[in-house]
């Protein structure tokens, strides 16, 4: 059994840690509220834009001027990894990094062998690990979370879109965490460019064949101009949404992790207090026995 001084030092240390984790939990909860409001306000707008793009997918296929939906053999690939700058948020960062590495090694193994897989990193934690593992990082924007505004994020999105337009990359994928709630984050792997055109299908009757959903749009001022404007806008909005999702997921995961750490510290304090009381009782009993023994020795 440990002596009383050692147990007291451990109790003081765990108590200090508990205060720190409790404070970090409250800070993350405050930041989460702001980040959660931001993503929940943007998400319906992003979904509606995607719905419009899906509805006019036939028009997009006919429009050969839409460079963002041009399919090319994926000879050069860019994987955009969105993580966080700080840790203490559970498995949030490592899950994103593992998924990105898995994509490079499995989905793009041929391109990786030819050194044609690049990583664009947002988040210091992902940047550090990928550098240690000798993966090719073409750029990092770890400072974006210091001023997370649409204007700053759009600059990154437009840079990536430009590299796709000029043929630097044939495929751009996003890997990030989608925010569901404080305790649940969904690991996402998405093809960002070229834009995937998905045609919705509905069943009228089990005996009939499926038919394409058709919406009769009236384009003003012109179909070409609207498509030219809406595609880049949708791509910028979606990239901003991915970063907001990751930002909210970080604070949610950290709040949950700190909550568990605080609870674990409380349980450990109970165990240490019990151990301290047992040690103190044993010490008192030993002293009493020594006194009684000494008194008995004096009688003789």
- C-beta separation of 111 from 75 below 8 A: yes
Residue 277: both structure tokens together: 């009381």
Local structure of 120: helix, strand or coil: strand
List for the chain the helix, strand, coil content (%; round to 5): 65, 15, 25
Residue 89: both structure tokens together: 């948020």
Single out the residue of 97, 91, 86 nearest to residue 129, CA to CA. 97
Q: Which of 32, 56, 82, 89 is catalytic?
A: 89
Write the DSSP symbol of residue 145.
Answer: G
β-pair partners for 178 = 186
Distances (CA, A) of 23 to 84, 86, 92, 93: 20, 16, 20, 22
Q: CA dihedral in degrees (206, 212, 217, 221; nearest 10)?
A: 170
- C-beta separation of 78 from 120 below 8 A: yes
Cis peptide upstream of residue 274 (ω within 30 degrees of 0): no
Q: CA dihedral in degrees (148, 150, 151, 157; nearest 10)?
A: 100
How many angstroms separate the CA atoms of 246 and 166, rounded? 28
Examine the residue annotation and report whether 59 is marked as an active-site residue of this protein: no
Residue 16: both structure tokens together: 């200090």
DSSP string, 66-92: -GGG-----SSEEEEEE--S---STTH
Residue 284: both structure tokens together: 């008192």
Residues forming the active site: 89
């Amino acid at each position: 059994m440990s002596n009383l001084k050692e147990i007291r030092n451990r109790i003081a240390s765990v108590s200090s840690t508990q205060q720190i984790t409790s404070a970090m939990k409250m800070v993350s909860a405050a930041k989460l509220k702001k980040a959660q409001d931001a993503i929940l306000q943007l998400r319906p707008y992003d979904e509606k834009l995607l719905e419009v793009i899906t509805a006019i997918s036939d028009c997009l296929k006919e429009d050969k001027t839409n460079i963002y939906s041009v399919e090319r053999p994926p000879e050069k690939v860019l994987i955009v990894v969105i993580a966080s700058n700080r840790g203490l948020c559970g498995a949030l960062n490592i899950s994103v990094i593992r998924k990105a590495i898995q994509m490079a090694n499995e989905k793009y193994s041929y391109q990786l062998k030819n050194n044609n897989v690049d990583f664009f990193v947002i988040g210091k934690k992902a940047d550090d690990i990928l550098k240690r593992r000798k993966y090719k990082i073409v750029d990092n924007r770890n400072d974006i979370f210091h001023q997370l505004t649409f204007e700053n994020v759009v600059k990154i999105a437009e840079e990536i879109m430009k590299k796709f337009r000029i043929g630097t990359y044939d495929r751009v994928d996003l890997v990030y965490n989608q925010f569901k709630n404080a305790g649940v984050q969904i690991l996402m792997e998405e093809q960002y460019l070229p834009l995937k055109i998905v045609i919705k299908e509905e069943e009228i009757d089990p005996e009939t064949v499926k038919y394409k959903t058709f919406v009769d749009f009236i384009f003003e001022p012109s179909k070409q101009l609207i498509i030219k404007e809406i595609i880049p806008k949708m791509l910028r909005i979606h990239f901003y949404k991915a970063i907001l999702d990751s930002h909210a997921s970080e604070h949610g995961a950290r709040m949950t992790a700190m909550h568990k750490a605080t609870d674990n510290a409380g349980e450990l304090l109970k165990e240490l207090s019990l151990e301290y009381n047992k040690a103190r009782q044993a010490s008192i009993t030993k002293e009493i026995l020594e006194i009684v023994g000494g008194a008995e020795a004096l009688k003789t």
